[in-house]
Homo-oligomer: A and B are copies of this chain.
Amino acid sequence: MTNRQILLVSRPQGIPEPENFRLVETLLGDPAEGQFLVRTHYLSVDPYMRGRISDRKSYADPVALGALMVGGTVGTVVASRHDRYREGDVVVGDWGWQEYALTDGAGVYRFDTSLAPMSTAVGVMGMPGLTAYAGLLEIGKPNEGETVFVTGAAGAVGSLVGQIAKLKGCYVAGSAGSPSKVEHLTKELGFDAAFNYKDSQDYAAAIAEACPQGIDVFYDNVGGPVSDAAFTHINLHARVVICGQIDQYNAEQPPQGPRLLWNLIVKRARVEGFLVFDHGHLYRQAQRDISGWIKEGKIKYRETIVDGLENAPAAFIGLFHGENLGKQLVRLAND
């Protein structure tokens, strides 16, 4: 049968461009004994992938030129010669930007759609969900009544961080990149305050207004000047969770900024970077909690969906222009 895939064909300079990717048609055989064939329903595009397509030294080897683009995926089993998977099973994994995949099941997990819809398996119930849950609760450790400030607050991770912090009794503020995102945060997601950083001349003043009691937990998805300003507004014994630095991912030169370390002494503060892969032991617990909160109406999630594999590069590139509200997905087949 014919499969369609998207390959990485060149490394971006700065923000990725469509030319860095190429759509190809390939042939796929039938499952061998112990294999099964998956049809992709949703691809996840995420900021971290920018690091994976760079040749900058990082936590994982870069995607090779000419290789299938990586990414989280959810789909259904359409043919199986595997003991544990049957036709119709909904499975989640990392088989990348392709319409079909043959797999022996390594790194693939069954997803329980009674917990939440299929698309959430790569969003609020998947990697971004666990990222928010583990980063906030295990590293940020917010206490009731404390102030939590989140950058990239309208994104897949940030919007969940803020809502979980509200559930824990915190005052929550966030920054986002458009008036409609700011309204979404305060009107729909229950944030106490939010501001549009693209509309601000003075980030320190905007943060001071949004966080009148200072910041106890700073959950940073963005980096750069907004984060610099947040560092000047942290409280004694603050915890700063470095989840992402999307502002930096496309930098051509080693980015420079104000030195932040002195203020960590003054405030006896802690800054910690983390990767969700180190927190896999919390995956089931996070899914159980988040599913429950969604069903109780305590957590809302948004998805920005584009259709068609050929639109995956544009959806990915759009992340760096702030085009997504909540989780950015590419739909290849309906549920």
Contacts and interface: CB of A to CB of B under 8 A. Distances in A.
Interface stretch (A154-162, A255-263, A319-327): A255-263
A223 B261 contact: yes
A258 to B, nearest CB: 5
Nearest to A220: B261
Contacts of A270: 270-273
A32 B263 CA distance: 42
Interface stretch (A170-178, A183-191, A239-247, A302-310): A239-247
B278 A273 contact: no
A262 B221 CA distance: 10
Nearest to A249: B262
A266 B262 contact: no
A335 to B, nearest CB: 33
Most buried by B among A220, A243, A244, A260: A260
A26 interface: no
A167 interface: no
A58 interface: yes
Interface in A40-93: 57-59
Contacts of A278: 268
Contact of A242 (B243, B261, B272, B273): B261
16 contacts: A57-B266, A58-B266, A223-B259, A223-B261, A224-B259, A242-B264, A245-B262, A245-B265, A255-B259, A257-B258, A263-B273, A266-B273, A268-B272, A269-B272, A270-B271, A271-B271
